[in-house]
Structure 1
Amino acid sequence: MEIEIRHFRAFAAVARHRSFSRAADELSITQPALSRTVAQLEAALGVRLLERTSRRVEPTDAGTEFLREAERVLASFDHALTAARRLGVLRLGFSWLLPAPWAQRTIKAFEGSTGASVTLTRTDDPLEALRRRTVDIAVVRGDAAAPEPLRSVRLYDEPRFAVCARESPLAGRDHLDWDEVRDWRLIVNTVSGTTGPWSWPEESRPRDIVETANYDEWVETVAANRGIGIVPETARHRSPHPALRFVPLTDAPPVPVRLVHLPDGPRVLIRRFLDASLAAVAR
């Protein structure tokens, strides 16, 4: 049997704790799995490393000597991993306005725990950027499911707001109902927008649509009073524009915010970034 680093970790944990149960807790594995791993190591070496009784676990003389060497190997291995991870880069794609403070908390926690760095890539179509492999993971808003083979993790939902020009009749209202949107000309960002005709059943869709190709075009078209737009709440806080007014929407479905990635990307970095992301959401 080939001896792996997991065998070193298993034996060292048991030898340090003098306990299979405490070592299993440290390694986050079951006690039977830990016992099998240590037994595999002893069988591969042909040496008994631990004396086991009903009351205690102690390293044998051979186990004591092997522990010194195992800990040296583990320290060197962990040092090599840390050095390599400092060279790692995770490319995060986004179409507009990363959620705050989620993005800042996530990036700080990820970089602090891995030693890797995050580079930010602004792209009108994050899903296409993933397919072209110009980013490793992307923040995607909206209802549409990620196409295969992309993988998706839902983070949270954002409320929707209506946005209009200062001169619009809507600017004086304290709210707009979701069902009323069909009575207004709707400005839609067809590439990275989160709301469009697809957001309503066919019989309830807005009848008058103006299409734009990116967020900047969308903002300026709404500001020019060519119609109204619908945006997630993030835009209300982080897109101040003197010509725009934000109006609460009642009965509007929220906008899902997701992280999307390819299944064959840098798996360790992606998994650690997902862990940091979900922890940031929970704060």
Structure 2
Amino acid sequence: MDIELRHLRAYLALCEEANYTRAAARLHLSQPALTRTIQQLERRVECRLIERSSRRFELTEEGAELLAHSRRIIADIDTVRDELRSRATLDVGFSWLLPDTWFAQTRTRYEALGGRISLHRVEDPMAALADRSIDIAIHRNEIRLPRHLASRVIGTEDRMLAVSVNSPLAHVEDLRWADLASYPLVVNVVSGTIHAGSWDPPYPDRAIITCTNFDEWIELVAADRGIGGVPILARTRAPHPGVVYRDIPDAPPSHVYLTWRAKPAPLRSVQRFLGIARDATPIDD
């Protein structure tokens, strides 16, 4: 039978530790399992690798030769594995309006290291993470995550009011956030950044009009079904002839999040992206 990589890794660990107990612990094996693996290796090379009579751990001449080859083989395989992993395509999902400056910087740094990013416009980033169609989600809505997901805030964005051009609010001066508490509210329940609870206390009889994506949301606002709140980059990135964007000085900011699968341990490509994202220029509009 052929020599397997597990045989060489076990042999290399044993030679480096010069002790079966320590090598077994390092490999997360029982000592008998490690002994059987080394015995299998000796049978497959048809020679003794470790001196049986010595009181110290010593290799035979053949054992020393195999050790040199094992180091080279494993180093070559690990190098190829790491190189291929570094070039893996990372699937990044977003629901709407990427934070462009931050993402451009992060993407450039990630791809400079040999990786590739594939962007996906998804209606529900959490669902896309669950079915593994994306590796990382960029989103703005606060979500109570299941235990297998982890999240990180990567920045904050000022928020502004969105109203129909036909709404009286399109022309009212000196608007404050509290002034908006009783108006009908359009809420994107999947990826929106505001809801009735965004006002404290919430207005008890407020009309709530729900939708499930940004396109529906902006058309409902344009139709004067209700008001909406949105990060300020929408003014330049999502203009609409039926919508007026108004600055509200005391509007609470929204956050931008990265979310990924934390269990089982994330892929190395995901970990690399997260490290680069952490060091990129913070989002702060």
Assess same fold via TM > 0.5.
Answer: yes
Give the Cα separation in 2 of the matches to 1:131 and 1:246.
34
Residue number in structure 1 paired with 2:30? none
Displacement of 1:254 in angstroms is 1.4
Q: How far is the alpha carbon of 1:200 from its aligned partner?
A: 3.0
Structure 1 unaligned spans of 5+: 8-42, 47-65
Q: Using the alignment, how far apart are the partners of 1:248 and 1:170 within structure 2? A: 12
Conserved? CA contact 2:154–2:282, under 8 Å: no
Structural mapping, 1:67-216, within 5 Å: 77-78=78-79, 80-86=81-87, 88-113=88-113, 115-201=114-200, 203-204=202-203, 207-216=206-215
Letter in 2 for 1:167: N
Quickly say closer, same or farther: Cα 1:282–1:189, change in 2 above 3 A: closer
Shift of the 146–249 alpha-carbon distance from structure 1 to 2, 3 Å rule, reads farther
Equivalent residue of 2:233, what SS? helix
Contact in 2 for aligned 1:136/1:265 (Cα 8 Å): no
For residue 85 of structure 1, what is the amino acid of its counterpart? S
What is the DSSP-based 3-state SS (H/G/I as helix, E as strand, rest coil) of the residue aligned with 1:281?
Answer: coil
- The number of equivalent residue pairs is 226
State TM-score, norm by structure 2.
0.69
1:125 to 1:117, Cα distance in 2 relative to 1, 3 A:
same
Measured on the aligned residues, the alpha-carbon RMSD in Å equals 3.1
Cα 1:83–1:209, aligned 2, differ >3 Å: closer, same or farther?
A: closer
Against the structure 1 CA distance between its residues 249 and 145, is the aligned structure 2 distance closer, same or farther, given a 3 Å change threshold? farther
Structure with greater helix share of residues: 1
- AA partner of residue 186 (structure 1): L
Instruction: Report whether the alignment pairs 1:273 with 2:273.
Output: yes
Query: Residue 157 of structure 1 aligns to which amino acid in structure 2?
Result: T
Structure 1 residue 276 displacement after superposition = 1.5
Cα distance, 1:211 vs structure 2: 1.4
Residues 70/149 of structure 1: CA separation in 2 closer, same or farther (3 Å cut): closer
- Tell me how far apart the structure 1 counterparts of residues 174 and 57 of structure 2 sit (CA, whole Å): 72
Identity of aligned residues (%): 35
Q: CA deviation at 1:97?
A: 0.9
Structure 1 pair 117/206, CA: closer, same or farther in 2 (3 Å)?
farther
Cα drift, residue 238 of structure 1: 0.8
Q: Check conservation: 1:146, 1:260, Cα contact below 8 A.
A: no
Alignment partners' CA distance in 1, 2:76 and 2:216: 54
Q: Alpha-carbon deviation of 1:71?
A: 9.1
CA drift of 1:205 comes to 5.8
Question: 1:232 and 1:118, CA in 2 relative to 1: closer, same or farther beyond 3 A?
Answer: same
CA contact (8 A) 2:166 2:224 kept: yes
Which amino acid in 1 is paired with 2:234? Answer: A
Change in 2 beyond 3 A, CA 1:230/1:174: same
Unaligned runs of 5+ in 2: 1-9, 17-55, 60-67
